[in-house]
Structure 1
């Protein structure tokens, strides 16, 4: 097969209250609301459509790793340490649940934050090389 998967276009996130979650993603993360009804909201964030889907209680994107630690399933990338520190400070100022900035032994630094349903997300200070080449072309 010569075809390939080109990109991740949509992520589905379980939420308990569609209206409250949509407001949170717009207010806290700067997402743009594209659609909302009683079962789902579609927000645009980080060049992706995110469906906030009404789910049963205690559902999340999180998983438990082999050491028993609850982990995130998505990492957002920002352009450098200054941007990472700005987001970290801004998220704390907005009253979000935010972890410390961490050195995980690889390039850059990271921190974890949660939405109002406890879905965990990671933020990394390094943009991927392919993304930089595509969006920051030299003139």
Structure 2
């Protein structure tokens, strides 16, 4: 059993090293996998400094963006986790220095709700002070493990993989510190404060920022392989050396896989994610319609030959305008 666990840990480390190496070469999808892998742990590291879940998410996003820019300078891919944690810690400390300390920081831990009673606010205040003081007594490793387990809701194997330690080590640390942290308090805090949907959106936000800064385009999809095949088959787009879609303009179209709740929130806008110019928009309209692709006439002209929009498999909306509309 011990040998099997060790083998799984070694395989996970090798897979992570490959992702780091690919991301260093500009593979955004590989970096998205790293973001997905480390989001909970990085949020926990930032939370350990800031004691504020929402600020921790902001710091995590900044840490990932900064890490992507500096990734080519990382000489030891197997040290990616500790290197990333150091970035998150420095950013958290810098932010903390800008905030008013002690009472103001603690007041931000749990935002007061307008409908909260005085008694509830007092209980929340006692809760956050108790846990804050208990967390302050732990070293960085123990605090990260406990926050990952309770606040980020990671399993013990997941924590062990993130920190490159054994599952038994994580289990023993949790068991050793539970009395100090008063488990019932921390569990109640996690239930009150854990915003899982926001964490799930962080991967998409990080990737979107990276891609926009590179002057490229990004759309969310539910299945990357299926979406890639759809764009290649319907529009004849080519792929670059990393397997990304190449647009006729020379730009890269990144397809980032997200879960259904995130996809639904991102595709709910009436605005198109991209707008294309076509020499013969009327012919393109008819061609897409014949292929069974959902198309809608442009609202401004009501003329399919002037402008229209179409939708991909995941409901992303794309606009098409005639080039002659832009000729003055």
Scaled by the length of structure 2, what TM-score is found? 0.30
Whose radius of gyration is greater, 1 or 2?
A: 2
Q: Does 1:75 align with 2:290?
A: no
Count of residues in Structure 1 that have an aligned counterpart in Structure 2: 109
1:44 Cα deviation (Å)? Answer: 0.4
Give unpaired runs (5+ residues) of structure 1: 1-7, 65-69, 133-139
Structure number with greater CO (CA < 8 Å, separation at least 6) is 1
In structure 1, which of residues 114, 120, 129 is the aligned counterpart of residue 317 of structure 2?
Answer: 120
1:20-70 deviation line (CA, Å, top 9, x unaligned): 10000101122112256xxxx510013210011111214165454xxxxx2
Q: What corresponds to 2:105 in structure 1?
A: none
Greater percentage in strand: 1
Does the CA-based 8 Å contact 2:278-2:323 persist in structure 1? yes
Q: What corresponds to 2:230 in structure 1?
A: 24
DSSP-derived class of the 1:71 partner: coil
Distance, in Å, in 2 between the alignment partners of 1:30 and 1:115 is: 14
Distance, in Å, in 1 between the alignment partners of 2:268 and 2:241 is: 28
In structure 2, which of residues 259, 265, 273 is the aligned counterpart of residue 56 of structure 1?
Answer: 259
Distance, in Å, in 1 between the alignment partners of 2:258 and 2:317 is: 16
Distance, in Å, in 2 between the alignment partners of 1:122 and 1:46 is: 16
Q: What corresponds to 1:45 in structure 2?
A: 247
1:71 Cα deviation (Å)? Answer: 2.2
Distance, in Å, in 2 between the alignment partners of 1:89 and 1:104 is: 19
Scaled by the length of structure 1, what TM-score is found? 0.66
1:104 Cα deviation (Å)? Answer: 1.5
Which runs of at least 4 in structure 1 moved beyond 3 Å after TM superposition? 60-64
Greater percentage in helix: 2
Q: What corresponds to 2:296 in structure 1?
A: 99
Distance, in Å, in 2 between the alignment partners of 1:30 and 1:46 is: 10
1:124 Cα deviation (Å)? Answer: 0.2
Give unpaired runs (5+ residues) of structure 2: 1-213
